[in-house]
Structure 1
Amino acid sequence: MDKNSSIKCSVEECKYNNHQEYCTLDQVKIGSNESSVTSVRETDCESFEVE
């Protein structure tokens, strides 16, 4: 898969990381893991899949 220069990723364990700091997906879905989000720790990349 080709890299998406618009989406950087440092999670090397993700199936969609090209191991050169980019994601290979066309788009990513970001979600929350709390009912009210007030910090980055309360969000998740819902596109993540283990490599």
Structure 2
Amino acid sequence: MNNSKKANYSIKCTVENCANHCGKEQYCSLDCICVGTHEGNPTMDQCTDCKSFLLK
């Protein structure tokens, strides 16, 4: 866990195994993120993805 990361309070995140996650705070440390989809015609929130995810 890198405690030097600054939480971006505009981007909530609970994905703790992402390198951009802010440890104990449930926020992302990036200035912005890219949201995409793995579906041709997304109809549910499960069809969307954070394309900024980076495995720790």
Q: Which residue of 2 aligns with 1:14?
A: 18
Q: Which residue of 2 aligns with 1:4?
A: 8
Q: Where in structure 1 are there 5+ consecutive unaligned residues? A: none
User: How well do the aligned residues superpose, as a CA RMSD in angstroms?
Assistant: 0.6
- Normalised by the size of structure 2, how large is the TM-score? 0.86
Q: Which residue of 2 aligns with 1:29?
A: 34
Q: Residue 49 of structure 2: SS of its match in structure 1?
A: strand
After superposing on structure 2, the runs of 4+ consecutive aligned residues of structure 1 that deviate more than 2 Å are none
- Alpha-carbon shift at residue 9 of structure 1 (Å): 0.5
Aligned length: 51
2: CA distance, partners of 1:40 / 1:8: 15
- Normalised by the size of structure 1, how large is the TM-score? 0.94
